[in-house]
Amino acid sequence: MSPLNKNTLNNISILSLRCFATVVDTQSFSSSARQLRIAPSSVTKHVQLVERAVKAALVHRTTRRVNVTEAGERFYEHCRTILSQIDSAAAIVETNGISGHLRIMAPPSFAAAALGPRLPDFMKNYPALSVDVIVSSSTPDLIRNRIDVAIALQKKPQSKLMHFRLATCRLSLCASPGYLASRGTPRRPDDLVNHECLAGRHSDLAEGWTLRRKNARKVVNPRFKLLSDNGDLLRQACLGGAGIGIFYDFHVHDDIRSGRLVPLLADYDLNARDIFAIIPHRKLIRPQAKVFIDFARALIGDFPHYGSAMDGGQLSSP
């Protein structure tokens, strides 16, 4: 399908475009109606108006779900660009007038320990904005999955998509007091091979742990008693005495401060990770995504031992 031309736009209202985009975002006519606060029959009517204007079937509706056609996928990208430009223009007039739908993806540890407790504050600041949070350790095709912002914790960007480095996050090696009482406390990196250890299944930490002190570098290949792709499960297991694990500081900060976990080999440094916000378009930042990235940057800045960063890109409206 070719990009929208002037004649096509003359036959489609902004509300019709927003209805279609919301149906694609939510995969539901009824959910779209609730979000837009109009009748489901009105949503159906507006989507049909769009289909007649572009002379193509954009969605197939069944009793259980909505399937977007190939033409609908292509049209959605143009539609989303137009709506983002309209939203940006409206945001200039009313700075707190952010509305619409925002889809976020975040890894389990960040979602549970950092994002979840503060997300209500974000939603109170933008009451007209609906939020969909997908919790996953993977980073799928953001465009195909209609992700507006993906939070990733990596050594360096793994994608050519536009990214913003929000902060540098330290890692903590720790275990529960009960585990250390029964198995002893490691005093040097080599001691770790005699302990039961925990690691993320798809993380490079499952391939070995690198510890540094001054100019010395030590690589340890511990025996992993437990692997999982869910960081919060590993944290719970560590609290229960399952073994020694490496965790992001934000994930175990409260546990260490309260004594539920004990930091180990404190005179050694672990390879830090950067926290990135990734968006699907290199030149277009939706206002909804912009305010969330600003929120995430401020959220991370509230944690101790974080280095904030702006070198991943400057946020600006299209």
SS3 string of the chain? CCCCCHHHHHCCCHHHHHHHHHHHHHCCHHHHHHHHCCCHHHHHHHHHHHHHHHCCCCEEECCCCEEECHHHHHHHHHHHHHHHHHHHHHHHHCCCCCCEEEEEEECHHHHHHHHHHHHHHHHHHCCCEEEEEEECCCCCCCCCCCCCEEEEEECCCCCCCCEEEEEEECEEEEECHHHHHHHCCCCCHHHHHHCEEEEECCCHHHHCEEEEECCEEEEECCEEEEEECCHHHHHHHHHCCCCEEEEEHHHHHHHHHHCCCEECCCCCEECCEEEEEECCCCCCCCHHHHHHHHHHHHHHHCCCCCEECCCCCCCCCC
pTM tops 0.75: no
Domains 100-169+274-308 and 171-271 share a fold: yes
Q: So what's the pLDDT on residue 143?
A: 73
Residue 304, pLDDT above cutoff 60: no
Fold of 171-271: D-Maltodextrin-Binding Protein; domain 2 (3.40.190)
pLDDT by residue (tens digit) across 155-197? 666 566 778 888 888 889 999 999 999 999 999 999 999 999 9
Banded pLDDT at 93 (limits 50, 70, 90): low
pLDDT by residue (tens digit) across 3-34? 455 555 566 788 899 899 888 888 888 888 88
Residue range 6-93 in CATH 1.10.150.20: no
CATH code for the domain defined by 100-169+274-308 = 3.40.190.10
Q: Where are the domains of the chain?
A: 6-93, 100-169+274-308, 171-271
